[in-house]
Protein backbone atom coordinates (compact mmCIF):
# COMPACT_ATOMS: atom_id res chain seq x y z
CA UNK A 1 0.00 0.00 0.00
CA UNK A 2 1.33 3.43 -0.98
CA UNK A 3 0.21 6.91 0.10
CA UNK A 4 0.62 9.99 -2.10
CA UNK A 5 0.76 13.32 -0.30
CA UNK A 6 -0.65 16.35 -2.14
CA UNK A 7 0.32 19.86 -0.98
CA UNK A 8 -0.52 23.23 -2.56
CA UNK A 9 1.82 26.16 -1.97
CA UNK A 10 1.98 29.88 -2.61
CA UNK A 11 4.97 31.62 -1.03
CA UNK A 12 4.90 29.39 2.07
CA UNK A 13 8.67 28.88 2.31
CA UNK A 14 9.15 31.75 4.81
CA UNK A 15 6.83 29.99 7.25
CA UNK A 16 6.30 26.27 7.97
CA UNK A 17 6.46 24.58 4.58
CA UNK A 18 9.69 22.74 5.41
CA UNK A 19 8.22 21.34 8.63
CA UNK A 20 5.01 20.44 6.81
CA UNK A 21 6.94 18.43 4.23
CA UNK A 22 9.11 16.75 6.86
CA UNK A 23 6.07 15.59 8.79
CA UNK A 24 4.30 14.42 5.63
CA UNK A 25 7.29 12.31 4.58
CA UNK A 26 6.90 10.27 7.77
CA UNK A 27 3.62 8.97 6.34
CA UNK A 28 3.69 9.40 2.57
CA UNK A 29 5.62 7.34 0.04
CA UNK A 30 5.67 10.29 -2.34
CA UNK A 31 4.78 13.99 -2.21
CA UNK A 32 3.28 15.96 -5.07
CA UNK A 33 3.68 19.69 -4.44
CA UNK A 34 1.77 22.08 -6.71
CA UNK A 35 3.48 25.47 -6.51
CA UNK A 36 1.16 28.23 -7.72
CA UNK A 37 3.80 30.84 -8.54
CA UNK A 38 7.16 29.03 -8.44
CA UNK A 39 8.59 30.88 -5.44
CA UNK A 40 8.60 27.84 -3.15
CA UNK A 41 10.16 25.35 -5.59
CA UNK A 42 13.80 26.56 -5.25
CA UNK A 43 13.55 26.30 -1.46
CA UNK A 44 12.13 22.78 -1.67
CA UNK A 45 15.02 21.72 -3.93
CA UNK A 46 17.49 23.23 -1.48
CA UNK A 47 15.96 21.61 1.60
CA UNK A 48 15.36 18.16 0.12
CA UNK A 49 18.00 17.91 -2.61
CA UNK A 50 18.00 14.44 -4.13
CA UNK A 51 14.90 13.16 -2.33
CA UNK A 52 13.16 11.23 -5.09
CA UNK A 53 9.95 11.04 -3.09
CA UNK A 54 9.24 14.72 -3.80
CA UNK A 55 7.92 16.03 -7.11
CA UNK A 56 7.09 19.70 -7.65
CA UNK A 57 4.98 21.11 -10.46
CA UNK A 58 4.11 24.74 -11.11
CA UNK A 59 0.56 25.79 -11.95
CA UNK A 60 -1.08 29.17 -11.19
CA UNK A 61 -4.36 29.12 -9.31
CA UNK A 62 -7.33 29.50 -11.63
CA UNK A 63 -8.35 32.44 -9.42
CA UNK A 64 -7.50 33.54 -5.85
CA UNK A 65 -10.47 31.69 -4.37
CA UNK A 66 -10.11 28.45 -6.35
CA UNK A 67 -7.71 25.95 -4.82
CA UNK A 68 -9.52 22.85 -6.02
CA UNK A 69 -8.38 23.35 -9.60
CA UNK A 70 -4.80 22.81 -8.46
CA UNK A 71 -5.79 19.87 -6.28
CA UNK A 72 -7.44 18.14 -9.22
CA UNK A 73 -4.42 18.98 -11.38
CA UNK A 74 -2.03 17.50 -8.83
CA UNK A 75 -4.01 14.26 -8.57
CA UNK A 76 -2.82 13.13 -12.01
CA UNK A 77 0.74 12.83 -10.65
CA UNK A 78 -0.27 10.78 -7.61
CA UNK A 79 0.66 7.12 -8.02
CA UNK A 80 -0.30 5.86 -4.56
CA UNK A 81 -3.31 3.83 -3.52
CA UNK A 82 -4.42 6.76 -1.33
CA UNK A 83 -4.13 10.54 -1.66
CA UNK A 84 -3.48 12.57 1.49
CA UNK A 85 -4.33 16.26 1.12
CA UNK A 86 -2.31 18.45 3.47
CA UNK A 87 -2.18 22.25 3.57
CA UNK A 88 1.22 23.94 3.50
CA UNK A 89 0.64 25.52 6.94
CA UNK A 90 -0.22 22.21 8.63
CA UNK A 91 2.04 19.81 10.52
CA UNK A 92 1.21 16.21 11.37
CA UNK A 93 1.31 15.04 14.97
CA UNK A 94 3.87 12.54 16.23
CA UNK A 95 1.30 9.74 16.15
CA UNK A 96 0.91 10.01 12.38
CA UNK A 97 2.18 6.43 12.02
CA UNK A 98 -1.36 5.43 13.02
CA UNK A 99 -2.58 6.68 9.64
CA UNK A 100 -0.86 3.94 7.67
CA UNK A 101 -1.81 1.31 10.20
CA UNK A 102 -5.48 2.31 10.07
CA UNK A 103 -5.58 2.31 6.27
CA UNK A 104 -4.00 -1.12 6.09
CA UNK A 105 -6.49 -2.53 8.60
CA UNK A 106 -9.54 -1.07 6.79
CA UNK A 107 -9.08 -1.52 3.03
CA UNK A 108 -12.81 -1.19 2.37
CA UNK A 109 -13.05 2.45 3.53
CA UNK A 110 -12.60 5.01 0.75
CA UNK A 111 -12.51 8.33 2.64
CA UNK A 112 -10.95 9.25 5.96
CA UNK A 113 -11.33 12.20 8.35
CA UNK A 114 -8.66 13.41 10.78
CA UNK A 115 -8.79 15.39 14.00
CA UNK A 116 -7.31 18.88 13.78
CA UNK A 117 -6.19 21.68 16.06
CA UNK A 118 -6.21 25.39 15.20
CA UNK A 119 -3.58 27.32 17.16
CA UNK A 120 -4.96 30.74 18.10
CA UNK A 121 -2.69 33.72 18.93
CA UNK A 122 0.21 31.47 20.07
CA UNK A 123 1.20 27.87 20.80
CA UNK A 124 -0.52 27.99 24.18
CA UNK A 125 -4.08 28.32 22.87
CA UNK A 126 -6.22 26.30 20.48
CA UNK A 127 -9.65 27.01 19.03
CA UNK A 128 -12.31 25.72 21.43
CA UNK A 129 -15.39 26.87 19.53
CA UNK A 130 -16.29 23.19 19.10
CA UNK A 131 -15.33 20.20 21.25
CA UNK A 132 -13.22 18.67 18.49
CA UNK A 133 -12.27 19.92 15.06
CA UNK A 134 -12.56 17.38 12.28
CA UNK A 135 -10.77 17.74 8.96
CA UNK A 136 -13.20 15.99 6.60
CA UNK A 137 -12.02 13.62 3.85
CA UNK A 138 -8.35 14.49 4.07
CA UNK A 139 -7.40 11.04 2.83
CA UNK A 140 -9.20 9.17 0.07
CA UNK A 141 -8.57 6.29 -2.26
CA UNK A 142 -6.94 7.21 -5.54
CA UNK A 143 -9.97 6.52 -7.71
CA UNK A 144 -11.05 8.37 -10.86
CA UNK A 145 -14.56 8.91 -9.51
CA UNK A 146 -13.25 10.86 -6.49
CA UNK A 147 -12.42 14.50 -7.30
CA UNK A 148 -12.84 18.06 -6.06
CA UNK A 149 -15.67 20.39 -7.13
CA UNK A 150 -14.49 23.24 -9.31
CA UNK A 151 -14.11 26.88 -8.30
CA UNK A 152 -13.97 26.41 -4.53
CA UNK A 153 -11.28 27.22 -2.00
CA UNK A 154 -11.68 24.41 0.53
CA UNK A 155 -14.27 22.25 -1.17
CA UNK A 156 -14.49 18.61 -0.14
CA UNK A 157 -13.90 15.80 -2.62
CA UNK A 158 -16.93 13.94 -3.89
CA UNK A 159 -17.47 10.47 -5.30
CA UNK A 160 -16.40 8.34 -2.35
CA UNK A 161 -18.78 5.72 -0.94
CA UNK A 162 -17.56 4.90 2.58
CA UNK A 163 -16.16 7.26 5.22
CA UNK A 164 -14.60 6.92 8.64
CA UNK A 165 -12.31 8.81 11.01
CA UNK A 166 -8.72 7.92 11.87
CA UNK A 167 -8.36 8.04 15.68
CA UNK A 168 -5.33 8.92 17.76
CA UNK A 169 -3.52 11.43 15.57
CA UNK A 170 -3.93 15.10 14.66
CA UNK A 171 -3.16 17.79 12.14
CA UNK A 172 -1.89 21.03 13.69
CA UNK A 173 -2.87 24.16 11.78
CA UNK A 174 -0.32 26.98 12.01
CA UNK A 175 -2.08 29.38 9.66
CA UNK A 176 -3.51 31.75 12.28
CA UNK A 177 -0.18 32.22 14.10
CA UNK A 178 2.46 31.69 11.42
CA UNK A 179 3.33 35.37 10.98
CA UNK A 180 3.68 36.12 14.69
CA UNK A 181 5.57 32.96 15.69
CA UNK A 182 7.99 33.33 12.79
CA UNK A 183 8.66 36.94 13.78
CA UNK A 184 9.41 35.88 17.36
CA UNK A 185 11.88 33.20 16.28
CA UNK A 186 13.62 35.53 13.83
CA UNK A 187 13.96 38.22 16.47
CA UNK A 188 15.25 35.67 18.98
CA UNK A 189 17.99 34.44 16.63
CA UNK A 190 18.94 37.99 15.67
CA UNK A 191 19.26 39.08 19.30
CA UNK A 192 21.22 35.95 20.20
CA UNK A 193 23.66 36.71 17.39
CA UNK A 194 24.12 40.37 18.31
CA UNK A 195 23.62 40.05 22.05
CA UNK A 196 24.54 43.30 23.79
CA UNK A 197 22.26 44.28 26.67
CA UNK A 198 20.36 41.00 27.21
CA UNK A 199 21.62 37.73 28.66
CA UNK A 200 21.14 34.42 26.89
CA UNK A 201 18.78 33.29 29.65
CA UNK A 202 16.62 36.39 29.26
CA UNK A 203 16.33 35.91 25.50
CA UNK A 204 15.32 32.27 25.89
CA UNK A 205 12.65 33.29 28.39
CA UNK A 206 11.49 36.00 26.00
CA UNK A 207 11.14 33.50 23.15
CA UNK A 208 9.31 30.88 25.20
CA UNK A 209 7.02 33.41 26.88
CA UNK A 210 5.91 34.91 23.57
CA UNK A 211 5.45 31.55 21.85
CA UNK A 212 3.10 30.38 24.60
CA UNK A 213 1.48 33.68 25.54
CA UNK A 214 3.06 33.75 29.00
CA UNK A 215 4.92 37.06 28.76
CA UNK A 216 4.28 39.19 31.88
CA UNK A 217 1.47 41.63 31.07
CA UNK A 218 -1.21 43.69 32.84
CA UNK A 219 -4.59 44.98 31.66
CA UNK A 220 -4.62 48.34 29.89
CA UNK A 221 -7.41 50.90 30.13
CA UNK A 222 -8.74 51.43 26.60
CA UNK A 223 -9.74 54.96 27.54
CA UNK A 224 -6.07 55.92 27.55
CA UNK A 225 -5.57 55.04 23.90
CA UNK A 226 -4.76 58.07 21.74
CA UNK A 227 -7.28 59.14 19.12
CA UNK A 228 -4.86 58.16 16.34
CA UNK A 229 -4.97 54.51 17.41
CA UNK A 230 -8.74 54.60 17.73
CA UNK A 231 -8.97 55.75 14.12
CA UNK A 232 -6.25 53.40 12.89
CA UNK A 233 -7.91 50.29 14.30
CA UNK A 234 -11.48 51.51 13.69
CA UNK A 235 -12.45 51.09 17.34
CA UNK A 236 -16.19 51.33 17.87
CA UNK A 237 -17.35 54.55 19.55
CA UNK A 238 -19.50 52.58 22.01
CA UNK A 239 -16.56 50.55 23.28
CA UNK A 240 -14.37 53.61 23.49
CA UNK A 241 -17.01 55.59 25.41
CA UNK A 242 -17.66 52.70 27.78
CA UNK A 243 -13.96 52.45 28.55
CA UNK A 244 -13.83 56.13 29.49
CA UNK A 245 -16.57 55.65 32.09
CA UNK A 246 -14.81 52.76 33.86
Domain boundary among 150, 173, 196: 173
For residues 126 and 120, the answer to whether their CB atoms sit within 8 Å is yes
Quick one: 169 and 192 in the same domain? Answer: no
| pLDDT in the model for residue 225 | 76
What is the pLDDT confidence band of residue 240, given thresholds at 50, 70 and 90? low
Quick one: 169 and 185 in the same domain? Answer: no
Quick one: 131 and 25 in the same domain? Answer: yes
Domain boundary among 173, 198, 220: 173
| pLDDT in the model for residue 69 | 92
A 10 A CB-CB count for 242 gives: 12
Quick one: 219 and 133 in the same domain? Answer: no
| pLDDT in the model for residue 246 | 56
pTM of the model: 0.88
- Residue-range definition of the domain harbouring residue 194: 178-245
Domain boundary among 173, 193, 219: 173
How many domains is the chain partitioned into structurally? 2
For residues 134 and 75, the answer to whether their CB atoms sit within 8 Å is no
Domain at 127, CATH number: 3.90.550.10
CA distances from 127 to 15, 37, 115, 117, 234 (A): 20, 31, 13, 7, 25
Q: Evaluate if residue 217 carries a pLDDT over 90.
A: no
b/e sequence 50-85, b meaning 16+ C-beta within 10 Å:
eeeebbbeeeebeeeebbbbbbebbbeebebebbbb
Amino acid sequence: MKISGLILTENEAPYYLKECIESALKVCDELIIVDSDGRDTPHIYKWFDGDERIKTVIRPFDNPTDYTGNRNYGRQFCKGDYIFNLDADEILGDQSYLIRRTLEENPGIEAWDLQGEHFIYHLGLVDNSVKEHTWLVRIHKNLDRISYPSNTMHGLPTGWKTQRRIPGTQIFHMGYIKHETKRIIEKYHKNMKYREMHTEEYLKDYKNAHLFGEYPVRPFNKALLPMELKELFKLEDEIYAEARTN
